[in-house]
Amino acid sequence: MNMQNVTRIPAGKGFDAVHYHRTELAPIMSLYGQMVAAGEWRDYGISALREVAIFSIFRRTAEHALYRIEKRPKLQGKQSMYCIIGMDGRILKRGNDLKNVLRVLERKLIRAVD
């Protein structure tokens, strides 16, 4: 299956859902794999909604998400398309470059390994 063509799919009632592209998922999954290997994270979930795609990260399956990586294409020119939100709802980092935004979580990996 050619994943480049699967970025938006019908989500019912005449609107398209926002999805992560595989080029966006690659750095997210790389960081996720490193944190799983460090024993910090154990599970994830991906949601595709009308205006936002969310990658949720969990320490345990039954808990609330530790972090949410959100993609909001409509905010690309205003506040930035990507943001990382902590468990308490605070925005930890925002930007239009996903790799740069993910650096806030990479710092936590360095602390976990030390």
pLDDT digits (tens, 9 = 90+) for 24-49: 999 999 999 999 998 889 999 999 99
pTM attached to this predicted model: 0.79
pLDDT at res. 16: 83
Class of residue 77 by CB neighbours under 10 A (exposed 0-12, middle 13-18, buried 19+): exposed
pLDDT at res. 4: 42
- The token pair at 93 is 């980092």
pLDDT in tens, 40-85: 899 999 999 999 999 999 987 677 899 999 999 888 878 789 999 9
pLDDT at res. 5: 39
The domain limits of the chain are 14-113
Please answer whether residues 99 and 106 qualify as being in contact, where contact means their C-beta atoms are separated by less than 8 angstroms: no
